[in-house]
Structure 1
Amino acid sequence: MSEISNQHTSNDNMQSSWFASWFDTSYYHILYKDRNYREAQIFMDNLTHYLNLPEEAKVLDLACGKGRHSIYLNQLGFNVLGVDLSENSIEIASKNANDKLHFKVHDMREPLEEKFDAIFNLFTSFGYFDHDEDNLKTLLAIKESLSEYGFAVIDFMNVPFVLDNLVAEETKTVEAIDFHLKRYVKDGFIIKEIDFEDNGKKFHYEEKVRALTLEDFTKMMDEAGIYLLDIFGDYKLKKYYKKTSERLIMIFK
């Protein structure tokens, strides 16, 4: 599921930054260490081929995490900027920077000053916010940051498929840590609770992503003045089917 989570705290003021805390921990990277990098590369190959991006196109990787997509896009010959709210992730990603690959801390709700030929928001890195207007602000920021002929891509989970296949509880053991995972739907969000113990200390985090459907995105895009060009259902860019596709990949400009 998503990249972002929070740690429970008695201080309500901390809730304003819930989407930063889990992502900035080493445990986040441990839990998700087995992600399929080859699959991600195939997706980037298919996507850049489909978009027919010009050589040395300027690409923005929005919510880039540690930069795995940014690094590969740069290897394909593109000028890439990776941005993320997590200072820890950007610090790690920046170790791979070069004259055509840069990283910086940035809030996706704010447009960037420069314009891009392509903006990629990948691996369900959308819908973190408590308020729907922040999701709309993100779309408007993407629109503002695109060049006149630029394309944007949002790669989101396919919510109907996820809900039909939701595993309520499971335990994953990674690097001798037992991560106890609990998943459920509440107030329009898909929530994953993560409990584990390390060095005699107990931890509790939560991932929380708005259960946005294609209809929800279409409505927001209409409001933002964005034109939805194409929809795909997996990383091989096969047709989207509401009930059976694992992903909801939207191309717009």
Structure 2
Amino acid sequence: MSDLTTQTHPIEDDQWYASWFDTPYYHILYKERNYREAQLFMDNLTQYLNLPEKAKVLDLACGRGRHSIYLSQLGYDVTGADLSANSIAEASKNENHHLRFEVHDMREPFEAKFDAVFNLFTSFGYFDEDEDNYKTLVAIHDSLNEYGFGVIDFMNVEQVIDELVPEEEKTVDGITFHIKRYTDEKYIIKEIRFHDKGQDFCYYEKVRALRLEDFQAMMERAGIYLLDIFGDYKLKKFYKKTSERLIMIFK
């Protein structure tokens, strides 16, 4: 889905993700993402996990399926799941015998069990209630088979806050997005304002500022074993102050 950050929805709306991710503007704003970097991450990750040939992989919060599509091209049997019906409709155009998509709430486990469940590009920590974020972690774990691996690719909060750009403008497809970023005690927030087709729009992204110790506490509570931690898509060591990402492998 998205890293960090209607017709207007107030910031108190605890389902900001349901409105913003379902609009075409979300995909316009982020259309220039680095797909090669995403593919390199999938190459490194699947090699590290040593997944079996034709392994069953769940891409949870898959958006329009960029990771799912590439994983299927690597030979895996892939299910992409996302809450956004519009994103799933777009992703489903790429379906084949080894690639399928469905609308799904990440707080609910799947009946099917997977060799790996990937939750990528800061697609965690969307919920206001701590219990809902905990339920998401448990649902990932409960969707794994006996030998399966869970992977959460999250922002490194310390680095993000340290390098936060308070304001910027970005013009894409003739639309100028005015972006503000700020933090409070619990969240990193991105406010996105723009004008299009005679209307003013304002959307938000609001992600819990979860640090490694927060994930460790949730995992301990859930009986989840944290196997390894990486700090970038090349799977280099995690450093709390400087790493670009917080990538956790668990089972």
Report the TM range for the smaller structure's normalisation.
over 0.9
Match of 1:101 among 80, 99, 102: 99
- Cα deviations across residues 48-87 of structure 1 (Å, max 9, x unaligned)? 0000000000000000000000000000000000000000
Equivalenced residue count is: 251
User: Counterpart of 2:164 in structure 1: which amino acid?
Assistant: L
* 1-structure distance, mates of 2:164, 2:15: 27
1:127 matched to which residue of 2? 125
* 2-structure distance, mates of 1:191, 1:238: 27
| 3-state SS of 2:53 partner | coil
Shift of 1:224: 1.0
2:2 matched to which residue of 1? 2
* 2-structure distance, mates of 1:97, 1:239: 36
User: Counterpart of 2:136 in structure 1: which amino acid?
Assistant: T
Alignment partner of 1:183 is 2:213: no
Match of 2:164 among 147, 163, 166: 166
Q: What is the Cα-based RMSD across aligned positions, in Å?
A: 1.7
- Cα deviations across residues 155-209 of structure 1 (Å, max 9, x unaligned)? 0000000000000011011111110000001240000000000122100000000
User: Counterpart of 2:184 in structure 1: which amino acid?
Assistant: K
Shift of 1:8: 3.5
User: Counterpart of 2:179 in structure 1: which amino acid?
Assistant: L
Alignment partner of 1:62 is 2:60: yes
- Cα deviations across residues 76-132 of structure 1 (Å, max 9, x unaligned)? 000000000000000000000001100000000000001000000000000000001
User: Counterpart of 2:177 in structure 1: which amino acid?
Assistant: F
| Change beyond 3 A, Cα 1:226–1:6 | farther
| 3-state SS of 2:15 partner | helix
Alignment partner of 1:86 is 2:101: no
Match of 2:236 among 238, 243, 247: 238
Q: Which runs of 5+ in 2 are unaligned?
A: none
Q: Which runs of 5+ in 1 are unaligned?
A: none
User: Counterpart of 1:178 in structure 2: which amino acid?
Assistant: T
2:226 matched to which residue of 1? 228
User: Counterpart of 2:191 in structure 1: which amino acid?
Assistant: E
- Cα deviations across residues 1-54 of structure 1 (Å, max 9, x unaligned)? 9368866347x8xx3532210101111000000000000000000000000000
| 3-state SS of 1:38 partner | helix
1:155 matched to which residue of 2? 153
Alignment partner of 1:118 is 2:116: yes
2:136 matched to which residue of 1? 138
* 1-structure distance, mates of 2:5, 2:155: 16
| 3-state SS of 2:176 partner | strand
Could you list the structure 1 runs, at least 4 aligned residues long, displaced by more than 2 angstroms after superposition: 1-10, 15-18
Report matched runs for 1:177-216 at 5 Å: 177-216=175-214
Kept after mapping to 2: 8 A contact 1:192/1:207? yes
| Change beyond 3 A, Cα 1:232–1:7 | farther
* 1-structure distance, mates of 2:159, 2:9: 32
2:31 matched to which residue of 1? 33
Aligned sequence identity (%)? 72
Larger RCO: 1 or 2 (CA < 8 Å, sep 6+): 2
* 2-structure distance, mates of 1:7, 1:235: 35
1:50 matched to which residue of 2? 48
